Structure 1
Amino acid sequence: MKILLVKLSSLGDVVHALPVVQDILAALPGAQIDWVVEKSFAPILALSTGLQRVIPCEIRRWRKSPLSAVTRQQWNAFKADLRQTDYDAVIDLQGLTKSAVVARLARLAPGGKRYALANQTDGSGYEAPTRWVADVAIRVNPHIHAVQRSRELAARALGYSLAPSPDFGLKRHFAHTARAPTAPEKIANRVAFVHGTSRADKEWPLAHWTALGHRLNAAGYQVVLPHGNENEKRKSQSIASALNESAPGHAVVWPLLPLDALTHELAQCAGVIGVDSGVSHIAVALDLPHVQLYNFDTAWRTGPDAASGRQVSVYGAPAPGVDDVWCAWLGCLETVQQAPEQTSDALEWSASGADGE
């Protein structure tokens, strides 16, 4: 069976949809699964076990100059790439006009069908063309977690039952990147601060990051600071400068990394503390000890499943307090220490280094 998934953006939404691939493969062994995604997020899909083909597009950029010769040329090339395969099922996991257009362009095999959401879910965008284009529009519970929404839509479209827990399916080994892999003996003391987010109202105060960093340093941890743009880089440098005043090496600012290399580096950390962002959701997909920070009471929709205890969300208005975040981090560590047999895949990856598959 040949299946096309359409989930174009953003990073967090793409990560939330990753378990659909493993759900389908568990129910339909041998299925060929392709995925259309914005080019900038394609590297994370390249790490997903079981995907046959990742089909990149740049709709965000093309919409800015739809009539230019370059856009027309690239759009036609994308359509030709998309229409290489006749699909038995095309599943629009996004529910927007742009994803509906992509689903409509895809070719169906004889008897094939297009599936989409029939209704909006709480806190998520939804546009009517998604159900107009679909052969089958599926209604789901409006109050549903983002991960479960995609899983349920695909399961009901293809007629299989869901496993209780999602499997994000990220590969356990990574190919060599430009940066040398971190030595295993240095893994256990790195904690990543994911402070960057596309929305300013989701940010955590700089002073809070610094205070939390001092506590981690005192406990023997090094803070590592990723960034995705110049503004985030400056904030990373500011946090690192404050933490390194007492002793060099308490904090390290990572260089700007491509998404696959960033995922590799996160996988080698002892854990991650971050705001509600795509990179924090990667930490969840990696099953790392993780504390996710919320200024809005929306963790029920996008946050980690706290049942395991190794990943939790902390909410506070106007922002979570440092004490609350610190206690949540200690709770994650306690859970990991009580269940050593469930050690994160990240540590398995650290032992294997970057040997590849």
Structure 2
Amino acid sequence: MLLVKILIVKLGSIGDVIHTLPSLVAIRRKFQEARISWVVEKKASEILHGNRLLDDLIIINTAGIRRLKDFSSLRSIFELCKIKPDVALDFQGLLKSALVAKLSGAERRYGFSKNALREPESRFLLTDLVEIPNGKIHVIRKNLLLAEKALGVSVPEVFEFPIETDSSHQKEAEEIISKVGENFAILNPAGGWKTKLWDAENFGALADRLWEELGLKSVVTTAKDESFLAQRVLQNSKSRMIMLANPSLKGFYELVKRASIYVGGDTGPTHLAIAANTPVVGIFGPTEWWRNGSFRSEDICVERTDINCRTNCHRRVCNNWICMDISVDRVFDAVKRRLKVASRKIT
């Protein structure tokens, strides 16, 4: 089958988009002359802006489509139809993503088989289902297996994350570094779901340990609507060797490249830090490190292995929320071990 127009459907979140970038690289490597389009929701689209491997970036509001009232979303569907993709790959596994693939007009619509779908009923909108082996498999590799079985691409040993930045993003990072100095840690107390959050008070105590024992100042990064978490971190730090920052996603990407270490939960900035090849310590509770966390063996996850409620949890609300009850000592010990492996100079 000669493919000339390929549609990637990965609507969000930020982490989900990052986890699909290695598949984009593999597809472009095999189909160098193809027209490759990606449909994404606005909140996660910044990561893809300016990507040289894409011919089209289509931003869509799926809620608007469901209400049939958002004309910009309807225009996005018209854009898809004008492209007339030969094949669509639904990396999301949801009803809304399968619907977008269907509305695109692609004759072949690939997605995961029932056992690997987040919303199994979405399979009825697809034409081809790809079986994924049982067991622990990282979501990046899962996505690559879909691309491999659908399009015959080669699954790489080394994952690449094409994220285009410009001088404005570099300037964001430089302005922060000029104030905090070259040796710094990034702490991210946010997490989207409440159940993913490690207490901001703990982050404040961790910042004190980083300064007192390692000489590292901390940059606490959050989105603007999560600034209250950063303020709580600062309020609970005795040393106050902390700088609060709200960089753009790509500004954060440039900043985290320069960090000595990053500490955070299962959230978009953590996945950006991993993509940037920065030493990472993850703090995971209701989600799985082996699936969503770092694929690098040297990165460290601090998690509860002494409780039996974390398997396939994914709860956003929990009446017995103990999985994030993790001591500062454990996280700080992981930071020291990760820095030792990284062998980065700290003065």
TM-score over 0.5 for the alignment? yes
Aligned-residue sequence identity (percent) comes to: 25
Aligned mate of 1:315, from 297, 300, 303 = 303
Q: Please point out which of 140, 145, 151 is paired with 1:147.
A: 140
Match of 2:217 in 1: 222
After superposition, give the CA deviation of every residue in 1:109-136 in whole Å (9 maximum; x if it has no partner).
Answer: xxx5221112233xx622323x222222
Aligned to 1:291, the other structure's residue is in SS state strand
Tell me the secondary structure at the aligned position of residue 82 of structure 2. Answer: coil
In structure 2, which of residues 285, 288, 305 is the aligned counterpart of residue 295 of structure 1?
285
Where 1:18 maps in the other structure, the secondary structure is helix
Q: Classify 1:312/1:27 alpha carbon distance in 2 versus 1 (closer, same or farther; 3 Å).
A: farther
Equivalence for 1:329:
335
Question: Match of 1:167, as an amino acid?
Answer: E
Partner-residue secondary structure (3-state), 2:85: strand
- Gap change, CA 1:97 and 1:222, over 3 Å in 2: same
Of 226, 232, 235, the match for 2:229: 235
SS of alignment partner, residue 167 of structure 2? coil
Structure 2: how far apart are the matches of 1:87 and 1:127? 24
- What is the rounded CA distance, in whole Å, between the counterparts of 1:333 and 1:224 in structure 2? 17
Residues 193 and 224 of structure 1 are in contact (CA less than 8 Å); yes or no, is this contact kept in structure 2?
yes
Deviations 1:68-116 (A, max 9, x none): 4xx1x223211122223122321011111101111011134xxx52211
Aligned with residue 72 of structure 2, among 64, 68, 74: 74
Measure the CA separation in 2 of the matches of 1:270 and 1:30: 40
Partner residue of 1:7 out of 7, 10, 30: 10
Please state whether the residue corresponding to 1:120 is helix, strand or coil: helix
CA distance in 2, matches of 1:61, 1:229: 25
Residue matched to 2:115? 120
CA distance, structure 1, for counterparts of residue 294 and residue 209 of structure 2: 24
Distance 2:274 2:324 in 1: 24
CA contact 2:22–2:159 (8 Å) conserved in 1: yes
Q: Deviations over 1:145-197 (max 9, x none)?
A: 211111110111001331123222223x5231495441777664121111111
CA distance in 1 between counterparts of 2:267 and 2:173 reads: 25
Deviation at 1:6, TM superposition (A): 0.1
The one-letter amino acid of 2:302's match is V
Q: Which residue of 2 aligns with 1:260?
A: 250
Structure 1: state its 5+ residue gaps: 341-357
Note the C-alpha offset of 1:272: 1.1
Partner of 2:319: none
CA pair 268-32 structure 1, distance change in 2 beyond 3 A: farther
Q: CA contact under 8 A between 1:294 and 1:319: conserved in structure 2?
A: no
Computed over aligned residues only, the root mean square deviation of the Cα atoms, in angstroms, reads: 2.5
Q: Displacement of 1:33 after TM fit?
A: 1.9
Letter in 1 for 2:125: V
Q: Is the CA contact 2:172–2:251 (under 8 Å) kept in the aligned structure 1?
A: no
**TM-score, length basis structure 1:** 0.81
Alpha-carbon distance between aligned partners in 2 of 1:169 and 1:5, rounded to the nearest angstrom: 15
- Which whole-Å deviations, capped at 9, do the CAs of 1:288-337 have from their partners, x for residues lacking one? 11111012462121111242x1x221112443322222222222222222
Distance 1:297 1:12, change over 3 A: closer
